[in-house]
Each structure stands twice: as C-alpha cells, then as structure tokens.
C-alpha cells in the first residue's frame, strides 16, 4: 500500500468509538527499512485549539483494518471513559 492511498483516511479508535484525526494531519514513524512503525496523532480539538498538548502514538500492529474511508485502530488499555 502506498502512502498516497492512506492519506485522507479518518483514524477511529474502536474501543472509544472516537475519531482521532485524519491521516495527513498525523506524523508517521518510519524505520530505516522504510516501513511505517507507528502513527503519531496530535491531540487537538476542532478549529485547531489544543486539547492538552499530548500526542497519541499508535504502533502499526494496533491497526486493525484499513478501509476505503477510515483506519480502525485498537489501542490496548484504552477503555471508554465514563461520562
């Protein structure tokens, strides 16, 4: 799969049923062989205002499905937060 095919897809956390961002607004962590090892997603709200300044690092092996419009991830240890 090419990077251009990934660009523009929404990243969704399956456990929290939350949209984390769009690939293209994220950074990729790439090893010396040119393989993607992780997605680095900035933690921002709408209109670009920072939520708390942290980033979410998603290792490539936590990506469960890459579909036509979105990327489904499953990060261990992230449960749905009570409201």
Dihedral, CA atoms, 25, 73, 77, 37, nearest 10 degrees? -70
Residue 80 has what pLDDT?
A: 46
75 or 30, greater pLDDT: 30
Residue 53 has what pLDDT?
A: 58
Q: Per residue in 22-72, pLDDT tens?
A: 877 677 889 999 888 998 877 655 555 555 557 778 899 999 999 989 999
> Which residues, including other chains, have CB under 8 Å from residue 57's CB and lie 6 or more apart?
29, 38, 39, 40, 41
Backbone CA torsion sign across 60, 34, 3, 5: negative
């Amino acid at each position: 799969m090419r990077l251009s095919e990934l660009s523009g897809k929404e990243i969704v956390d399956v456990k929290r049923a939350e949209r984390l961002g769009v690939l293209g607004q994220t950074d990729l962590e790439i090893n010396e062989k040119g393989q993607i090892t992780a997605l680095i997603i900035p933690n921002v709200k709408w209109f670009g205002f920072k939520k708390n300044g942290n980033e979410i690092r998603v290792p490539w092996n936590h990506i469960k499905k890459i579909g036509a419009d979105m990327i489904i991830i499953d990060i261990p240890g992230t449960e749905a937060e009570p409201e």
